[in-house]
Structure 1
């Protein structure tokens, strides 16, 4: 991918509040977390690692030929799990990919890492996409993002932001679970105390914003479909079957 040492880390745990056990749920015969790991491998990073506190996830990944590391089971934030995993791993740039994104496009990883490669002063990048509907705008399960004129994120919220008191044209973005950190920025972030806004919204990256860390937003023109509930499995399988590019990637990764 570059001369930089890039590590992709995928956090995964069985104790999901909305869908317990989902990392190992089979989608077209392959565990969810394996779909994500195999897609991430296509990005060409130096290594792809699953970070988990569950022995059964580690065993499933290793049985498929992947690399997994164990972390503590006390982490409330996936970014803190990533930071612990990186204590065991090399890499000066860390890309975090949520473990419930089976439709991950490999180029998303390239896109989120690129600003860190171009700007040595930049600590964090978050991939964003434009909201597609008013229902998404109102949905508290979708984290919205607002950016300044330089493209840096200035706020994340589960509430509909911005509030349109006046009818003006303003882009409305959704946060994705794909982020890139310079390793020292990840270490600094994890060492910071949790903040009130972070706890109120349950959004990790508000900790960085409240502590004055810069987060660059990179906007892409596609939306990934995360698996948050059992009914999402059928939706993902339908995309695999009907979307030519997704079908191509599925066929490619199912042979790994």
Structure 2
């Protein structure tokens, strides 16, 4: 089973433009993410797919592999699909460019989903982390996910799900971590489909897969990922990087 990791890297992020080129303790966010993914040793190939010559050069000039997108894309899945269309791969892992704390354990769990799925029923696998802080739960930048009893995604939302109608029922709230593993076939099918109603409403591409009946296996992780969507996130990431690697 051939595995490729692709990091979609759009320069003009709506909430924090240019965030991938911001400094994270001596290197850019995108380079940190690329190096973290490469260092896992899990993939036959790791590449960055970008619409930016600045990001392309950042990766290539530091010895990495990158491809330029030729089309404008609304989603990271579209950008990845264009990048890997001609590549020989069974499984494609989408590592978000603003997730520099991606680790080997989480990515290995995603790959194992497909190794165990002998009947090929699962189209995607992704990660989730339990949230307990009320402010985090209510923050629409934190995408929430609910699953069935087998751990398959039922819905993703920026709203609080499930709604705590009965305070006596202690139901965990999970944050969706934007790292996906796709069967290449499912990814290319997504690329050839139009955006769906719920996807357009929530602005969440993962809903397109659900609306077309794809099965998404969710894996719970205790790893605290920091997705960099704001300047405050970047400052938090710098503090965490210093704590982990510089002993501060």
TM-score category of the 2 structures, normalised to the smaller one: over 0.9
* Contact 2:22–2:29 (8 Å) recurs in 1: yes
Determine which of 29, 38, 41 is the counterpart of 1:41: 38
1:175-190 paired onto structure 2 within 5 Å: 175-190=176-191
List structure 1 segments (4+ residues) > 4 angstroms apart after TM superposition.
Answer: none
CA distance, structure 2, for counterparts of residue 68 and residue 132 of structure 1: 38
Structure 2 equivalent of residue 247 of structure 1: 245
Shift of residue 90, structure 1, vs aligned partner: 2.6
* Contact 1:72–1:81 (8 Å) recurs in 2: no
Matching of residue 158 in structure 1 with residue 158 in structure 2? yes
CA distance, structure 1, for counterparts of residue 161 and residue 87 of structure 2: 37
Structure 1 equivalent of residue 82 of structure 2: 84
SS in 2 for 1:43: coil
Residue segments in structure 2 that go unaligned for 5+ positions in a row = none
Shift of residue 125, structure 1, vs aligned partner: 0.5
CA distance, structure 2, for counterparts of residue 190 and residue 218 of structure 1: 24
CA distance, structure 1, for counterparts of residue 233 and residue 20 of structure 2: 13
SS in 1 for 2:198: helix
* Contact 2:25–2:242 (8 Å) recurs in 1: no
Shift of residue 73, structure 1, vs aligned partner: 4.7
Count of matched residue pairs: 243
Residue segments in structure 1 that go unaligned for 5+ positions in a row = 251-256
Cα-to-partner distance string for 1:192-236 (whole Å, 9 max, x where unaligned) = 221110000011110011111110111111220111122332221
Matching of residue 26 in structure 1 with residue 27 in structure 2? no
Structure 2 equivalent of residue 96 of structure 1: 94
Structure 2 equivalent of residue 254 of structure 1: none
* Contact 1:112–1:178 (8 Å) recurs in 2: no
Structure 2 equivalent of residue 62 of structure 1: 60
Question: What's the C-alpha RMSD, in Å, of the aligned pairs?
Answer: 1.5
CA distance, structure 1, for counterparts of residue 128 and residue 240 of structure 2: 21
Cα-to-partner distance string for 1:117-151 (whole Å, 9 max, x where unaligned) = 21041211011111131111111111000000111
Single out whichever of 116-125 and 172-181 deviates more from structure 2.
116-125
Cα-to-partner distance string for 1:36-73 (whole Å, 9 max, x where unaligned) = 00000122111110000111111110000000001135
* Contact 1:128–1:218 (8 Å) recurs in 2: yes
**TM-score with structure 2 setting the length:** 0.94
